Structure 1
Amino acid sequence: MILWFTIAQVAVAVAAGLFCVIAGLAGRRPSDWTVGSLALVELLLLVQVVIAIVAPLTGNPPSGSLLEFWVYLVSAVLLPFAAVAWALLERSRWSTVIMGIAALSIAVMVWRMYVIWTVQVA
C-alpha cells in the first residue's frame, strides 16, 4: 500500500462519514450529496484494489497476512453498496446516519489494511 493514498482514503472516508452522520442527525434524508460521498469512498476503494494487485508485482509485498488483507479489502468494498442500498430502501434520516457509520468504519478498515501491509510480520 501507498502511505499518501492511505491517508487520503482515510481523510475522505472520515469526511464523508462525518458529513452523513451530521446530515442524518439534522434530519436530512439520503440525497445525492450523501450518496455521492459514499460513491467517492467506493471509487477510492476500487483504486486500492488495483494498487493491491499491482504492488506485489512491483516489489512491494505485504509483510502481514495476505488473506487477512484481502478479507478487509473485499469487506470494505462491499460496505458502501450495502449502506447505499439500505438508504435507498429505507429513506429516513437514520439511513443517512448508517451511511456515515459505514464510511467511518471504512476509514478504520483502510488504516488496518495499511498496518497489515506494512507493519506485521507473517
Structure 2
Amino acid sequence: MVEGLTTTIHIASLVMAGWCLVSTFRDQPMVVPHLAGMTVLWLILIGQAVTSTVLITGGARPAEPVVFVSYLATVVLLPPACAVWGLMDRSRWGPAVIAVACLVLPVLMVRLEQLWGPAVA
C-alpha cells in the first residue's frame, strides 16, 4: 500500500464528509458537485487498489490475504454504491448517506494498513 495515497484518501474522505454534512444541515439534496467529489475519491481508491494488487502480485503479502482483499473490495465498492443511493434520495438524507460512507472509509483504510503492515518484509 502507498502511504501517500492512504493519506490522500483520509483527507479527501473527511473533506467530502464535512461538505455533505453541511449540505445535510442546510436541507439540500445531493447535487452534481457532490457526485464529482465522490468520483475523485473513488478514482483515488481505485489507484490504491491497483497499487496494492500489483504489490501482492509482485510478492508482497499482507498478514491475512483473504481479509485484506475483502476490505479492499469493500473500500472500492462503497463510494459508488453510496453515491447512487444518495443521488436517488432527493431529500436532505442523500448527502447524509455520502457523509456516513466518507466517515467509514478512513476507518477501513486504517484497517487495511494494519493488515498490510505486519507481513511486509
Provide TM-score, normalisation by structure 2.
0.89
Quote the offset at 1:58 in angstroms: 4.3
Quote the offset at 1:120 in angstroms: 6.3
1:29 counterpart SS class:
coil
Cα gap change, 1:15/1:120 in structure 2, threshold over 3 Å: closer, same or farther?
farther
* Separation of aligned partners in 2, 1:98 and 1:120: 35
* Separation of aligned partners in 1, 2:50 and 2:41: 15
Aligned to 1:89: 88
Aligned to 1:55: 55
Counterpart of 1:66 in structure 2: which amino acid? P
* Separation of aligned partners in 2, 1:88 and 1:4: 30
Q: Cα RMSD between the aligned structures?
A: 1.7
Aligned to 2:73: 74
How many residue pairs match? The answer is 120
Is residue 6–residue 109 contact of structure 2 (8 Å, CA) maintained in 1?
yes
Name segments (4+ residues, structure 1) moved above 4 Å: none
Counterpart of 1:100 in structure 2: which amino acid? A
Quote the offset at 1:100 in angstroms: 0.9
Is residue 49–residue 72 contact of structure 2 (8 Å, CA) maintained in 1?
yes
1:29 aligns with 2:29: yes
* Separation of aligned partners in 2, 1:24 and 1:114: 31
* Separation of aligned partners in 2, 1:36 and 1:104: 18
Provide TM-score, normalisation by structure 1.
0.88
> What is the aligned-residue identity percentage?
24
Alignment gaps of 5+ in structure 1: none
Quote the offset at 1:95 in angstroms: 1.1
